[in-house]
Structure 1
């Protein structure tokens, strides 16, 4: 019997839709918060993604692009819901597709995970379940969606995907992780509906699967459609690993082109974890890859070339996702692909101020500031003071926007 050889990081990957990506590295989504007041992409986005495209990564995922201007997840979100700003999106697509990179747009709706007071009409969710404890101060109690509103949201995702395709993006990803709307539907903790969209896991995954099928119909069979999914919510009564494996299998049956595994929500922000080395979700990803029958990506915690190569060689994943290392070094992927024994300088951020060090926002603000600087052609060092980044973001966006940011 011939031994199965696991892929090298430089090996191309052909997706189920027939599109081939040039290597096994993916730039994971990070919130850039670079939308204008009218929610169009700011010019910094094409400049930022040009730097990442020139760095050699095979797939570049954008930060979340919202499908409804009435439902922002944070100040500075980009929204794609109609044709008004296709020229700006096209400019972003052109620059992000340089050097053979595949630029994919991540599509999202926050559900109730939107800071209190950000959206004038309040928030919606599968059920009118408030966040527990201190999070209730940051996020208001949502209104439960009607069935017709759920169908409208499915249509919105499909329309945004088609617009992304027209603008020149190479694929789309549906964000069903990290506690946003799709993740809320999947979680029995947040979805207590008693109709066809709640109760059993089959019902709780209905919105995700219906939306995937609608997006596929909108973009056709030869355009990559990916889904980002939690391995688990890591909270009692939430979306479990067993649930996740079942959803992975269902997405595989639907012909999903790439399933990206992450984990956690802003109740339990495992995706902002403090571990400095090692794939956070690689152990689960190996089981998910077997269940999926389609390509699988694992993102979170990869900080050095050896760990990346091990994840591929072990069969844990077909693709490895990188995020923060590409901020501190836009050429990180190129160095891995050249065979260098590169290790990222990314580390947990600390200010010595307990109230700041205990929040996910400090990390978010530091990287948002760093991405703005990358877009201006500057270099970013992982050792730079977090408080300076926080001050720059506050000066640029205003204190009100800072206070409306997501925080754990």
Structure 2
């Protein structure tokens, strides 16, 4: 890997675009730069819906629900801030479709008993945005529906529901080879769980639903269930069956009519075959987009018009999907390489499917220079919408500042410390302890205190 004067152990050292451009050239990266930030003002048409700009606030699971899955004041507070921040596409965090599918006891969970609380949340987003930007301003809201699979927890303890054994991932969680895999009947029953949740999302007023198939959760794990027997494993057609069946049921359901069909999808797991999806099957540890592209073609035919692409598994190799440079875990590659992988591979898919609105990721690490990288991606067709995850909790006004002031402010940006991820993995609840310290620093300190005792 080429050395350079601006990066030290991958840490962010760039003071200006010219320094960044030199590294991009020296390393031969696919990252593009543009200073035309007006590109973010482009409206995006999806069926009868219009996204008012090309900026997305992407999911960051907060773990702040009631025990029954309803939003709390922390949830409402977070999304009101994001709504007033100006992102045209607000992609809400993972909401479980079943009690046993929750990632922890504080994950949102949509039910017949609490859908009005979710309506209150959606109404708050819409009303807050209109108060800030005018009555004609309408951000598009996507509710992410998920089953956490091997990452389910009950009362703080791991309660894995696995679709297939994967040696490296099993070892990480202490799952032995005799641990039972979930039955075909259970998986088939999830079709109706997702459908019921989609119906409730529509009743609650959300513009669309995301059938989540990324980051090692259950539907994502099935995509790489090469060694599973039965109707949901082995062949490509079997491995995508549950995802496709769920989407088809929602698409054909009259109660879901008008919903945007979306998916947050792994372009690659970046785990060697047969443990990982989107990887070469020839023994080479390299990304192969053949199957992901086949799936996206099918999703397009089933009515999916919005896809948020990502990569990796945050529970195994965190820097693949969330490049960062501060913390106890040290990535084995310069962070700009991680960002380039995301931007480049997603760009290849967007270029092949220009008719699908693909949300790109991999921008937050660039701090105040991120708008120019995002604009470069838009200008060069590497994505139709630029997505930011961590910025939503650290810097909820980031979109407003890009659109109005044509900048992201240095003293507000996410610093990639990954403390939010640490909180998520250890206690479920997370937020930004740096930029929102009054609320989340005490929670973080209490977590640390608990570790010492």
Structure 1 residues 392 and 72, CA gap change in structure 2 (3 angstroms): same
| Structure 1 CA distance for aligned equivalents of residues 427 and 218 of structure 2 | 25
Q: Deviations over 1:189-218 (max 9, x none)?
A: xx5223232112222111111111112223
- Please report how far the alpha carbon of residue 308 of structure 1 lies from its aligned counterpart in structure 2 after TM superposition: 1.2
**Do residues 192 (structure 1) and 227 (structure 2) align?**
yes
**Do residues 38 (structure 1) and 99 (structure 2) align?**
no
Question: Aligned match of 2:250 in 215, 224, 233?
Answer: 215
Paired residue for 1:331? 397
Maintained 8 Å contact 2:56/2:388: yes
Structure 1 residues 156 and 391, CA gap change in structure 2 (3 angstroms): same
| Structure 2 CA distance for aligned equivalents of residues 140 and 38 of structure 1 | 33
Paired residue for 1:287? 348
SS in 2 for 1:259: strand
Paired residue for 1:296? 358
Question: Aligned match of 1:322 in 371, 377, 388?
Answer: 388
Gaps of 5+ in 1: 351-356, 404-408
**Do residues 274 (structure 1) and 324 (structure 2) align?**
yes
| Structure 2 CA distance for aligned equivalents of residues 142 and 18 of structure 1 | 47
Paired residue for 1:47? 77
Question: Aligned match of 1:22 in 46, 52, 74?
Answer: 52
Q: Deviations over 1:107-164 (max 9, x none)?
A: 10011122487579x4323235565465133899753233322221011011101101
TM-score (ref. length: structure 2): 0.74
**Do residues 308 (structure 1) and 374 (structure 2) align?**
yes
Larger radius of gyration between Structure 1 and Structure 2: 2
1:6-405 alignment, distance < 5 Å: 8-15=39-46, 17-80=47-110, 82-98=111-127, 99=129, 100-115=138-153, 118=156, 122-127=159-164, 132=169, 134-137=171-174, 143-188=180-225, 191-218=226-253, 219-237=255-273, 238-240=276-278, 241-265=289-313, 266-269=315-318, 270-274=320-324, 278=339, 281-292=342-353, 293-302=355-364, 303=367, 304-342=370-408, 345-349=413-417, 361=422, 368-370=429-431, 380=436, 390-393=444-447, 399=450
| Structure 1 CA distance for aligned equivalents of residues 219 and 38 of structure 2 | 31
Gaps of 5+ in 2: 1-35, 130-137, 279-288, 326-334
SS in 1 for 2:78: helix
What count of residue pairs does the alignment treat as equivalent?
A: 375
Maintained 8 Å contact 1:47/1:95: no
Structure 1 residues 389 and 41, CA gap change in structure 2 (3 angstroms): closer
| Structure 2 CA distance for aligned equivalents of residues 360 and 57 of structure 1 | 22
Task: Indicate the larger mover: 292-301 or 61-70.
Answer: 292-301
Maintained 8 Å contact 2:423/2:430: no
| Structure 2 CA distance for aligned equivalents of residues 379 and 184 of structure 1 | 34
Q: Deviations over 1:50-76 (max 9, x none)?
A: 111111101111111000012221231
Maintained 8 Å contact 2:50/2:140: no
SS in 1 for 2:415: coil
Structure 1 residues 387 and 12, CA gap change in structure 2 (3 angstroms): closer
- Please report how far the alpha carbon of residue 327 of structure 1 lies from its aligned counterpart in structure 2 after TM superposition: 2.0
Q: Deviations over 1:168-208 (max 9, x none)?
A: 222111110000001100014xx522323211222211111
Q: Deviations over 1:238-268 (max 9, x none)?
A: 1013322222222122221201111101222
SS in 2 for 1:148: helix
| Structure 2 CA distance for aligned equivalents of residues 27 and 280 of structure 1 | 20
Maintained 8 Å contact 1:282/1:316: yes
SS in 1 for 2:90: strand
SS in 1 for 2:324: coil
| Structure 2 CA distance for aligned equivalents of residues 139 and 274 of structure 1 | 31
SS in 1 for 2:80: helix
Q: Deviations over 1:69-128 (max 9, x none)?
A: 122212311111x310122111111112232222221110011122487579x4323235
